[in-house]
Structure 1
Amino acid sequence: MRNLTDGTPVDACALPGLYAYPAELARPWVRVNFVSSLDGAVSVDGLSGGLGSPADKRVFGTLRRLADVILVGAGTVRAENYRGARKPGFGRDAPPPIAVVTGSADLDPASPLFTDTAVAPIVLTTAAADPGRRAAITAAGGDVAVLDDLTPPTLLAELDRRGLRKVLCEGGPGLHGDLIAADAVDELCLTAAPLLVGGGAGRISHGPGGPPRAMRPVALLEDDGVLLLRYVRARDQE
Protein backbone atom coordinates (compact mmCIF):
# COMPACT_ATOMS: atom_id res chain seq x y z
CA MET A 1 0.00 0.00 0.00
CA ARG A 2 1.29 3.47 -0.84
CA ASN A 3 0.28 7.06 -0.27
CA LEU A 4 -0.65 8.64 -3.60
CA THR A 5 0.17 12.16 -2.41
CA ASP A 6 3.90 11.47 -2.05
CA GLY A 7 4.41 7.84 -3.09
CA THR A 8 5.58 6.69 0.34
CA PRO A 9 4.73 3.18 1.52
CA VAL A 10 2.01 2.78 4.14
CA ASP A 11 1.91 -0.26 6.41
CA ALA A 12 -0.90 -1.49 8.66
CA CYS A 13 0.62 0.20 11.71
CA ALA A 14 0.14 3.62 10.08
CA LEU A 15 -3.55 3.17 9.29
CA PRO A 16 -4.94 4.14 12.73
CA GLY A 17 -3.18 7.50 12.48
CA LEU A 18 -4.34 8.12 8.92
CA TYR A 19 -7.95 7.38 9.86
CA ALA A 20 -8.09 8.84 13.37
CA TYR A 21 -11.28 10.60 14.40
CA PRO A 22 -11.03 14.24 15.46
CA ALA A 23 -10.01 14.65 19.10
CA GLU A 24 -12.41 15.80 21.82
CA LEU A 25 -15.65 15.27 19.93
CA ALA A 26 -18.56 17.32 21.28
CA ARG A 27 -21.11 15.41 19.15
CA PRO A 28 -21.28 12.21 17.12
CA TRP A 29 -18.96 12.21 14.11
CA VAL A 30 -20.45 10.11 11.32
CA ARG A 31 -17.97 8.25 9.14
CA VAL A 32 -19.46 6.20 6.29
CA ASN A 33 -17.51 3.33 4.73
CA PHE A 34 -18.33 1.72 1.39
CA VAL A 35 -16.67 -0.27 -1.37
CA SER A 36 -17.76 0.11 -4.97
CA SER A 37 -16.63 -0.85 -8.44
CA LEU A 38 -15.24 1.72 -10.86
CA ASP A 39 -18.67 1.96 -12.49
CA GLY A 40 -20.36 2.57 -9.15
CA ALA A 41 -21.74 -0.87 -8.27
CA VAL A 42 -21.92 -1.62 -4.53
CA SER A 43 -22.26 -5.37 -4.91
CA VAL A 44 -21.57 -8.42 -7.04
CA ASP A 45 -24.41 -10.94 -7.05
CA GLY A 46 -26.04 -8.97 -4.25
CA LEU A 47 -23.08 -8.95 -1.85
CA SER A 48 -20.28 -6.46 -1.26
CA GLY A 49 -17.71 -9.22 -0.69
CA GLY A 50 -17.13 -9.63 -4.42
CA LEU A 51 -15.58 -6.15 -4.47
CA GLY A 52 -13.23 -6.66 -1.53
CA SER A 53 -9.45 -6.94 -1.46
CA PRO A 54 -6.76 -7.49 1.20
CA ALA A 55 -6.13 -3.74 1.42
CA ASP A 56 -9.84 -3.00 1.77
CA LYS A 57 -10.09 -5.58 4.56
CA ARG A 58 -7.17 -3.98 6.42
CA VAL A 59 -8.81 -0.56 6.27
CA PHE A 60 -12.21 -2.06 7.13
CA GLY A 61 -10.76 -3.67 10.26
CA THR A 62 -8.96 -0.48 11.24
CA LEU A 63 -12.12 1.62 10.90
CA ARG A 64 -14.04 -0.80 13.09
CA ARG A 65 -11.40 -0.74 15.83
CA LEU A 66 -11.35 3.07 15.81
CA ALA A 67 -15.14 3.36 16.17
CA ASP A 68 -17.28 3.54 19.30
CA VAL A 69 -20.22 2.00 17.43
CA ILE A 70 -20.97 0.46 14.02
CA LEU A 71 -24.25 1.77 12.61
CA VAL A 72 -25.99 -0.30 9.95
CA GLY A 73 -29.42 -0.75 8.43
CA ALA A 74 -31.35 -3.98 8.98
CA GLY A 75 -31.44 -4.81 5.27
CA THR A 76 -27.65 -4.86 5.15
CA VAL A 77 -27.52 -6.95 8.33
CA ARG A 78 -29.78 -9.56 6.75
CA ALA A 79 -28.13 -9.52 3.30
CA GLU A 80 -24.56 -9.73 4.65
CA ASN A 81 -25.41 -12.09 7.56
CA TYR A 82 -23.83 -9.72 10.08
CA ARG A 83 -22.15 -10.89 13.24
CA GLY A 84 -20.52 -8.92 16.03
CA ALA A 85 -17.22 -7.12 15.50
CA ARG A 86 -14.37 -9.40 16.50
CA LYS A 87 -11.35 -7.33 17.50
CA PRO A 88 -11.25 -4.99 20.52
CA GLY A 89 -11.24 -1.30 19.82
CA PHE A 90 -7.95 0.54 20.10
CA GLY A 91 -7.39 1.25 23.78
CA ARG A 92 -10.47 -0.79 24.79
CA ASP A 93 -11.06 -4.34 25.97
CA ALA A 94 -14.12 -5.02 23.83
CA PRO A 95 -15.13 -4.54 20.19
CA PRO A 96 -17.59 -1.79 19.30
CA PRO A 97 -21.27 -2.81 19.31
CA ILE A 98 -23.30 -3.14 16.14
CA ALA A 99 -26.25 -0.71 16.18
CA VAL A 100 -29.01 -1.81 13.80
CA VAL A 101 -31.66 0.57 12.47
CA THR A 102 -34.97 -1.22 11.89
CA GLY A 103 -38.50 0.07 11.79
CA SER A 104 -39.97 -3.44 11.83
CA ALA A 105 -37.57 -5.16 14.29
CA ASP A 106 -37.45 -7.96 11.71
CA LEU A 107 -34.23 -9.58 12.89
CA ASP A 108 -33.61 -13.27 13.46
CA PRO A 109 -32.74 -13.86 17.15
CA ALA A 110 -30.85 -17.00 16.07
CA SER A 111 -28.65 -15.11 13.58
CA PRO A 112 -24.91 -14.48 14.16
CA LEU A 113 -25.73 -10.88 15.08
CA PHE A 114 -26.89 -12.27 18.43
CA THR A 115 -25.17 -15.65 18.67
CA ASP A 116 -21.66 -14.75 17.44
CA THR A 117 -20.76 -11.55 19.25
CA ALA A 118 -18.82 -10.44 22.30
CA VAL A 119 -20.94 -7.30 22.73
CA ALA A 120 -24.73 -7.08 22.69
CA PRO A 121 -26.07 -5.45 19.52
CA ILE A 122 -28.09 -2.27 19.91
CA VAL A 123 -31.39 -2.42 18.04
CA LEU A 124 -32.76 1.03 17.21
CA THR A 125 -36.50 0.80 16.53
CA THR A 126 -39.84 2.40 17.39
CA ALA A 127 -42.97 1.54 19.33
CA ALA A 128 -44.64 0.70 16.01
CA ALA A 129 -42.44 -2.40 15.65
CA ASP A 130 -44.08 -5.70 16.54
CA PRO A 131 -43.88 -6.18 20.34
CA GLY A 132 -43.26 -9.89 19.94
CA ARG A 133 -40.24 -9.26 17.74
CA ARG A 134 -38.88 -6.69 20.18
CA ALA A 135 -39.31 -9.14 23.04
CA ALA A 136 -37.57 -11.92 21.09
CA ILE A 137 -34.62 -9.62 20.37
CA THR A 138 -34.34 -8.72 24.04
CA ALA A 139 -34.51 -12.40 25.01
CA ALA A 140 -31.66 -13.10 22.57
CA GLY A 141 -29.50 -10.52 24.33
CA GLY A 142 -30.18 -7.50 22.15
CA ASP A 143 -30.24 -4.02 23.64
CA VAL A 144 -33.49 -2.61 22.27
CA ALA A 145 -33.87 1.18 22.12
CA VAL A 146 -37.45 2.29 21.37
CA LEU A 147 -37.21 5.74 19.79
CA ASP A 148 -39.80 8.28 18.65
CA ASP A 149 -38.61 7.93 15.06
CA LEU A 150 -35.63 6.69 13.07
CA THR A 151 -34.51 9.97 11.54
CA PRO A 152 -30.76 10.64 11.67
CA PRO A 153 -31.05 13.34 14.39
CA THR A 154 -32.94 10.92 16.66
CA LEU A 155 -30.55 8.03 15.94
CA LEU A 156 -27.47 10.14 16.60
CA ALA A 157 -28.99 11.65 19.75
CA GLU A 158 -29.47 8.13 21.13
CA LEU A 159 -25.89 7.17 20.32
CA ASP A 160 -24.68 10.42 21.87
CA ARG A 161 -26.71 9.67 25.01
CA ARG A 162 -24.82 6.40 25.27
CA GLY A 163 -21.46 8.16 24.84
CA LEU A 164 -20.94 6.64 21.38
CA ARG A 165 -19.63 9.55 19.33
CA LYS A 166 -17.20 7.85 16.96
CA VAL A 167 -19.80 6.47 14.56
CA LEU A 168 -18.94 4.15 11.68
CA CYS A 169 -21.84 3.63 9.28
CA GLU A 170 -21.48 0.60 7.02
CA GLY A 171 -24.68 1.17 5.07
CA GLY A 172 -26.82 0.30 3.45
CA PRO A 173 -27.40 2.83 0.70
CA GLY A 174 -30.81 3.84 2.11
CA LEU A 175 -29.41 4.72 5.53
CA HIS A 176 -26.50 6.52 3.86
CA GLY A 177 -28.95 8.51 1.76
CA ASP A 178 -30.96 9.49 4.81
CA LEU A 179 -27.80 10.66 6.56
CA ILE A 180 -26.80 12.74 3.54
CA ALA A 181 -30.26 14.31 3.33
CA ALA A 182 -30.03 15.21 7.02
CA ASP A 183 -26.59 16.78 6.46
CA ALA A 184 -25.22 14.31 8.99
CA VAL A 185 -22.32 12.73 7.05
CA ASP A 186 -18.98 14.11 8.24
CA GLU A 187 -16.74 11.72 6.37
CA LEU A 188 -16.75 9.13 3.60
CA CYS A 189 -14.20 6.34 3.28
CA LEU A 190 -14.57 4.80 -0.17
CA THR A 191 -12.71 1.85 -1.62
CA ALA A 192 -12.77 1.83 -5.42
CA ALA A 193 -12.26 -1.71 -6.67
CA PRO A 194 -10.61 -1.94 -10.13
CA LEU A 195 -13.62 -3.70 -11.63
CA LEU A 196 -16.43 -2.95 -14.07
CA VAL A 197 -19.55 -4.77 -12.90
CA GLY A 198 -22.44 -3.51 -15.03
CA GLY A 199 -25.86 -5.01 -14.40
CA GLY A 200 -28.38 -3.49 -12.04
CA ALA A 201 -26.37 -3.16 -8.84
CA GLY A 202 -27.19 -0.10 -6.74
CA ARG A 203 -25.02 2.87 -5.84
CA ILE A 204 -23.65 3.74 -2.39
CA SER A 205 -26.57 6.00 -1.48
CA HIS A 206 -30.18 6.57 -2.44
CA GLY A 207 -33.02 8.48 -0.88
CA PRO A 208 -34.24 12.06 -0.51
CA GLY A 209 -32.61 14.65 -2.72
CA GLY A 210 -30.86 17.79 -1.57
CA PRO A 211 -28.00 20.12 -2.39
CA PRO A 212 -24.57 18.61 -3.06
CA ARG A 213 -22.18 18.59 -0.11
CA ALA A 214 -18.58 19.57 -0.80
CA MET A 215 -15.95 17.05 0.34
CA ARG A 216 -12.16 17.29 0.52
CA PRO A 217 -9.63 14.44 0.38
CA VAL A 218 -7.51 13.81 3.47
CA ALA A 219 -6.06 10.39 2.56
CA LEU A 220 -5.48 8.83 -0.86
CA LEU A 221 -4.00 5.33 -0.83
CA GLU A 222 -3.42 2.72 -3.52
CA ASP A 223 -2.72 -0.99 -3.35
CA ASP A 224 -2.48 -3.21 -6.43
CA GLY A 225 -4.91 -1.01 -8.35
CA VAL A 226 -7.34 -0.60 -5.46
CA LEU A 227 -7.95 3.02 -4.41
CA LEU A 228 -8.68 3.74 -0.74
CA LEU A 229 -10.06 7.24 -0.41
CA ARG A 230 -10.89 9.27 2.70
CA TYR A 231 -12.90 12.47 2.32
CA VAL A 232 -14.25 14.84 4.99
CA ARG A 233 -16.80 17.61 4.72
CA ALA A 234 -15.22 20.82 3.50
CA ARG A 235 -16.84 22.67 6.43
CA ASP A 236 -14.91 20.46 8.88
CA GLN A 237 -11.55 21.58 7.49
CA GLU A 238 -12.19 25.30 7.77
Structure 2
Amino acid sequence: MEQLHPTHVPEVDAYEAHRPPADEPSWLRVNMVSSLDGHIVDDDGVSGGLGGEADRLAFFAMRHHADAILAGAGTVRAEDYGGMRVRDTMRAAREADGRVDPAPIVVVTASVDLDPTSRLFTDTRVPPIVLTTTDADPEAVQRVAEAGARVVSAGEGRVDLTEGLAVLRESLGLHHVLCEGGPGLNAALLAADLVDELCLTLAATVVGSDDPRRIAGGAHPERRMALSRVLHQDGELLLRYTRTR
Protein backbone atom coordinates (compact mmCIF):
# COMPACT_ATOMS: atom_id res chain seq x y z
CA MET A 1 0.00 0.00 0.00
CA GLU A 2 1.30 3.45 -0.96
CA GLN A 3 2.35 5.57 2.00
CA LEU A 4 1.23 9.19 1.72
CA HIS A 5 3.25 11.82 3.53
CA PRO A 6 1.64 15.18 4.30
CA THR A 7 2.83 18.03 2.06
CA HIS A 8 3.01 21.55 3.42
CA VAL A 9 0.46 23.71 1.59
CA PRO A 10 2.88 26.54 0.61
CA GLU A 11 4.98 23.96 -1.26
CA VAL A 12 2.21 23.20 -3.78
CA ASP A 13 0.18 25.12 -6.34
CA ALA A 14 -3.34 25.04 -4.90
CA TYR A 15 -5.00 24.96 -8.30
CA GLU A 16 -2.86 22.07 -9.57
CA ALA A 17 -3.12 20.20 -6.26
CA HIS A 18 -6.90 20.03 -6.65
CA ARG A 19 -7.06 19.18 -10.34
CA PRO A 20 -9.59 16.39 -11.08
CA PRO A 21 -8.30 13.28 -12.87
CA ALA A 22 -7.56 14.05 -16.53
CA ASP A 23 -9.03 10.74 -17.71
CA GLU A 24 -12.45 11.29 -16.11
CA PRO A 25 -14.89 13.17 -18.39
CA SER A 26 -17.34 13.65 -15.50
CA TRP A 27 -16.48 14.00 -11.83
CA LEU A 28 -18.39 14.79 -8.65
CA ARG A 29 -16.39 16.10 -5.73
CA VAL A 30 -17.74 16.78 -2.23
CA ASN A 31 -15.83 19.37 -0.21
CA MET A 32 -16.42 19.81 3.51
CA VAL A 33 -14.66 21.10 6.61
CA SER A 34 -15.00 19.51 10.03
CA SER A 35 -13.79 20.32 13.53
CA LEU A 36 -11.80 17.73 15.46
CA ASP A 37 -14.96 16.72 17.31
CA GLY A 38 -16.91 16.21 14.09
CA HIS A 39 -18.89 19.43 13.73
CA ILE A 40 -19.36 21.13 10.36
CA VAL A 41 -20.48 24.55 11.62
CA ASP A 42 -19.04 26.97 14.15
CA ASP A 43 -20.82 28.75 17.00
CA ASP A 44 -22.46 31.07 14.46
CA GLY A 45 -24.00 28.13 12.59
CA VAL A 46 -21.85 28.46 9.45
CA SER A 47 -18.89 26.48 8.15
CA GLY A 48 -16.71 29.38 7.02
CA GLY A 49 -15.30 30.05 10.48
CA LEU A 50 -13.94 26.54 11.01
CA GLY A 51 -11.16 26.44 8.45
CA GLY A 52 -8.00 28.49 8.17
CA GLU A 53 -5.95 29.79 5.24
CA ALA A 54 -5.22 26.33 3.82
CA ASP A 55 -8.91 25.43 3.75
CA ARG A 56 -9.72 28.78 2.12
CA LEU A 57 -7.19 28.18 -0.68
CA ALA A 58 -8.50 24.66 -1.25
CA PHE A 59 -12.08 25.98 -1.34
CA PHE A 60 -11.25 28.48 -4.08
CA ALA A 61 -9.13 26.01 -6.06
CA MET A 62 -11.90 23.42 -6.15
CA ARG A 63 -14.44 26.04 -7.20
CA HIS A 64 -12.18 27.08 -10.08
CA HIS A 65 -12.03 23.49 -11.37
CA ALA A 66 -15.82 23.15 -11.29
CA ASP A 67 -18.29 23.52 -14.13
CA ALA A 68 -21.07 23.79 -11.53
CA ILE A 69 -21.29 24.21 -7.75
CA LEU A 70 -23.96 22.09 -6.08
CA ALA A 71 -25.49 22.94 -2.71
CA GLY A 72 -28.63 22.26 -0.73
CA ALA A 73 -31.08 25.09 -0.18
CA GLY A 74 -30.42 25.11 3.58
CA THR A 75 -26.70 25.65 3.00
CA VAL A 76 -27.39 28.38 0.44
CA ARG A 77 -29.64 30.22 2.89
CA ALA A 78 -27.38 29.76 5.95
CA GLU A 79 -24.20 30.80 4.13
CA ASP A 80 -25.93 33.61 2.15
CA TYR A 81 -24.62 32.34 -1.17
CA GLY A 82 -23.88 34.73 -4.01
CA GLY A 83 -22.48 33.75 -7.36
CA MET A 84 -18.96 32.42 -7.81
CA ARG A 85 -16.28 35.00 -8.48
CA VAL A 86 -13.24 34.11 -10.58
CA ARG A 87 -10.09 35.11 -8.71
CA ASP A 88 -7.34 36.91 -10.61
CA THR A 89 -4.75 34.47 -9.25
CA MET A 90 -6.55 31.49 -10.84
CA ARG A 91 -8.19 33.13 -13.86
CA ALA A 92 -5.51 32.21 -16.40
CA ALA A 93 -5.31 28.59 -15.26
CA ARG A 94 -9.11 28.24 -15.31
CA GLU A 95 -9.37 29.75 -18.78
CA ALA A 96 -6.56 27.48 -20.02
CA ASP A 97 -8.75 24.57 -18.93
CA GLY A 98 -11.61 25.94 -21.03
CA ARG A 99 -13.65 27.52 -18.25
CA VAL A 100 -14.12 31.24 -18.88
CA ASP A 101 -17.36 32.11 -17.09
CA PRO A 102 -17.93 31.52 -13.37
CA ALA A 103 -19.51 28.20 -12.44
CA PRO A 104 -23.25 28.52 -11.77
CA ILE A 105 -24.59 27.71 -8.32
CA VAL A 106 -26.98 24.73 -8.53
CA VAL A 107 -29.44 24.66 -5.63
CA VAL A 108 -31.09 21.35 -4.80
CA THR A 109 -34.55 21.97 -3.33
CA ALA A 110 -37.90 20.19 -3.47
CA SER A 111 -39.71 23.09 -1.81
CA VAL A 112 -38.08 25.88 -3.90
CA ASP A 113 -38.01 27.93 -0.69
CA LEU A 114 -35.64 30.57 -2.03
CA ASP A 115 -35.73 34.35 -1.72
CA PRO A 116 -35.65 35.97 -5.18
CA THR A 117 -34.09 39.09 -3.62
CA SER A 118 -31.20 37.16 -2.01
CA ARG A 119 -27.59 37.34 -3.20
CA LEU A 120 -28.05 34.03 -5.01
CA PHE A 121 -30.03 35.96 -7.62
CA THR A 122 -28.78 39.54 -7.26
CA ASP A 123 -25.03 39.13 -6.72
CA THR A 124 -23.93 36.85 -9.55
CA ARG A 125 -22.54 37.04 -13.05
CA VAL A 126 -24.26 33.85 -14.18
CA PRO A 127 -27.83 32.79 -13.38
CA PRO A 128 -28.24 30.11 -10.70
CA ILE A 129 -29.79 26.77 -11.52
CA VAL A 130 -32.59 25.44 -9.32
CA LEU A 131 -32.74 21.64 -9.34
CA THR A 132 -36.17 20.65 -8.10
CA THR A 133 -38.96 18.10 -8.62
CA THR A 134 -41.49 17.73 -11.40
CA ASP A 135 -44.32 18.41 -8.91
CA ALA A 136 -42.77 21.44 -7.20
CA ASP A 137 -45.03 24.37 -6.31
CA PRO A 138 -45.65 26.15 -9.66
CA GLU A 139 -45.81 29.59 -8.03
CA ALA A 140 -42.47 29.08 -6.27
CA VAL A 141 -40.93 27.83 -9.51
CA GLN A 142 -42.27 30.86 -11.36
CA ARG A 143 -40.83 33.23 -8.74
CA VAL A 144 -37.29 31.91 -9.07
CA ALA A 145 -37.56 31.72 -12.86
CA GLU A 146 -38.64 35.36 -13.00
CA ALA A 147 -35.67 36.20 -10.76
CA GLY A 148 -33.39 34.74 -13.43
CA ALA A 149 -32.87 31.12 -12.38
CA ARG A 150 -32.81 28.24 -14.80
CA VAL A 151 -35.09 25.51 -13.44
CA VAL A 152 -34.28 21.83 -13.94
CA SER A 153 -36.88 19.27 -12.81
CA ALA A 154 -35.94 15.70 -11.91
CA GLY A 155 -37.95 13.28 -9.81
CA GLU A 156 -41.37 13.45 -8.20
CA GLY A 157 -41.74 14.19 -4.48
CA ARG A 158 -37.98 14.32 -3.99
CA VAL A 159 -35.19 15.42 -6.28
CA ASP A 160 -33.74 12.58 -8.34
CA LEU A 161 -30.04 13.41 -8.14
CA THR A 162 -28.98 10.81 -10.69
CA GLU A 163 -31.36 12.20 -13.29
CA GLY A 164 -30.61 15.80 -12.32
CA LEU A 165 -26.85 15.36 -12.68
CA ALA A 166 -27.39 13.66 -16.03
CA VAL A 167 -29.30 16.73 -17.25
CA LEU A 168 -26.59 19.07 -15.99
CA ARG A 169 -23.93 17.08 -17.81
CA GLU A 170 -25.65 15.96 -20.99
CA SER A 171 -27.88 18.96 -21.68
CA LEU A 172 -25.94 21.83 -20.10
CA GLY A 173 -22.35 20.60 -20.47
CA LEU A 174 -21.61 20.87 -16.73
CA HIS A 175 -19.46 17.78 -16.30
CA HIS A 176 -17.26 18.53 -13.29
CA VAL A 177 -19.48 19.22 -10.30
CA LEU A 178 -18.38 20.41 -6.87
CA CYS A 179 -20.79 19.76 -4.00
CA GLU A 180 -20.54 22.01 -0.94
CA GLY A 181 -23.23 20.27 1.15
CA GLY A 182 -25.07 20.25 3.44
CA PRO A 183 -25.25 16.93 5.23
CA GLY A 184 -28.57 15.80 3.77
CA LEU A 185 -27.42 16.40 0.22
CA ASN A 186 -24.09 14.68 0.90
CA ALA A 187 -25.88 11.62 2.28
CA ALA A 188 -28.24 11.51 -0.70
CA LEU A 189 -25.33 11.67 -3.15
CA LEU A 190 -23.53 8.89 -1.29
CA ALA A 191 -26.69 6.78 -1.19
CA ALA A 192 -27.04 7.15 -4.96
CA ASP A 193 -23.35 6.23 -5.42
CA LEU A 194 -22.64 9.50 -7.21
CA VAL A 195 -19.60 10.69 -5.23
CA ASP A 196 -16.26 10.25 -6.97
CA GLU A 197 -14.17 12.21 -4.48
CA LEU A 198 -14.45 13.53 -0.93
CA CYS A 199 -12.20 16.38 0.16
CA LEU A 200 -12.23 16.89 3.90
CA THR A 201 -10.43 19.60 5.83
CA LEU A 202 -9.86 18.59 9.42
CA ALA A 203 -9.70 21.92 11.21
CA ALA A 204 -7.45 22.28 14.24
CA THR A 205 -10.29 23.20 16.57
CA VAL A 206 -12.81 21.64 18.94
CA VAL A 207 -16.22 23.30 18.71
CA GLY A 208 -17.90 21.63 21.68
CA SER A 209 -21.36 22.31 20.29
CA ASP A 210 -24.47 20.18 20.67
CA ASP A 211 -25.35 20.84 17.01
CA PRO A 212 -26.10 17.39 15.54
CA ARG A 213 -25.01 18.14 11.97
CA ARG A 214 -22.25 15.97 10.54
CA ILE A 215 -20.68 15.64 7.09
CA ALA A 216 -23.35 13.22 5.87
CA GLY A 217 -26.57 13.62 7.79
CA GLY A 218 -28.57 10.60 6.72
CA ALA A 219 -28.45 6.87 6.08
CA HIS A 220 -26.39 5.62 3.17
CA PRO A 221 -24.58 2.38 2.33
CA GLU A 222 -21.00 1.88 3.47
CA ARG A 223 -18.52 3.15 0.89
CA ARG A 224 -14.81 2.38 0.83
CA MET A 225 -12.64 5.25 -0.38
CA ALA A 226 -8.89 5.51 -0.92
CA LEU A 227 -6.75 8.27 0.59
CA SER A 228 -5.00 9.90 -2.36
CA ARG A 229 -3.44 13.09 -0.92
CA VAL A 230 -2.65 14.77 2.38
CA LEU A 231 -1.79 18.47 2.74
CA HIS A 232 -1.19 20.35 5.96
CA GLN A 233 -0.73 23.87 7.28
CA ASP A 234 -1.00 25.41 10.75
CA GLY A 235 -2.38 22.20 12.26
CA GLU A 236 -5.02 21.69 9.54
CA LEU A 237 -5.14 18.49 7.51
CA LEU A 238 -6.55 18.58 3.99
CA LEU A 239 -7.53 15.02 3.08
CA ARG A 240 -8.49 13.87 -0.40
CA TYR A 241 -10.29 10.56 -0.82
CA THR A 242 -11.35 8.98 -4.11
CA ARG A 243 -13.79 6.16 -4.68
CA THR A 244 -12.48 2.63 -5.03
CA ARG A 245 -13.79 1.04 -8.20
TM-score normalised by L of structure 1: 0.90
Q: For 2:188 and 2:121, how far apart are their aligned partners in 1?
A: 26
* 1:74 partnered with 2:77: no
Query: What residue number does 1:128 align with?
Result: 135
Letter in 2 for 1:86: R
Distance 1:154 1:72, change over 3 A: same
Q: For 1:127 and 1:234, how far apart are their aligned partners in 2?
A: 33
For residues 63-87 of structure 1, the C-alpha deviation after alignment (integer angstroms, 9 at most, x for no partner) is: 0000110011111111111110011
Letter in 1 for 2:236: V
* 1:152 partnered with 2:161: yes
* 1:179 partnered with 2:186: no
For residues 79-110 of structure 1, the C-alpha deviation after alignment (integer angstroms, 9 at most, x for no partner) is: 11111001166113211000000101110000
Letter in 2 for 1:208: A
In the alignment, structure 2 segments of 5+ residues that lack a partner are: none
Query: What residue number does 1:29 align with?
Result: 27
Q: For 1:209 and 1:174, how far apart are their aligned partners in 2?
A: 10
Matches within 5 A, 1:1-238: 5-6=4-5, 9-11=8-10, 14-26=13-25, 28-45=26-43, 46-87=45-86, 90-91=94-95, 92-149=99-156, 150-161=159-170, 162-201=172-211, 202-210=213-221, 212-235=222-245
Aligned sequence identity (%):
50
- Residue pair 1:104, 1:128 contacting (<8 A) in 2 also: no
Q: For 1:148 and 1:12, how far apart are their aligned partners in 2?
A: 45
> Per-residue deviation at 1:147?
2.3
Q: For 1:82 and 1:233, how far apart are their aligned partners in 2?
A: 29
Letter in 1 for 2:218: G
For residues 176-211 of structure 1, the C-alpha deviation after alignment (integer angstroms, 9 at most, x for no partner) is: 00111111111000011111112222110022332x
- Residue pair 2:121, 2:128 contacting (<8 A) in 1 also: yes
- Residue pair 1:12, 1:58 contacting (<8 A) in 2 also: no
Q: For 2:54 and 2:232, how far apart are their aligned partners in 1?
A: 9
> Per-residue deviation at 1:173?
0.3
> Per-residue deviation at 1:8?
5.3
RMSD between aligned residues: 1.8
Q: For 1:144 and 1:180, how far apart are their aligned partners in 2?
A: 24
- Residue pair 1:84, 1:98 contacting (<8 A) in 2 also: yes
TM-score normalised by L of structure 2: 0.88
Letter in 1 for 2:149: G
Moved over 3 A (4+): 4-13
In the alignment, structure 1 segments of 5+ residues that lack a partner are: none
Q: For 1:207 and 1:9, how far apart are their aligned partners in 2?
A: 34
Partner-residue secondary structure (3-state), 1:11 = helix
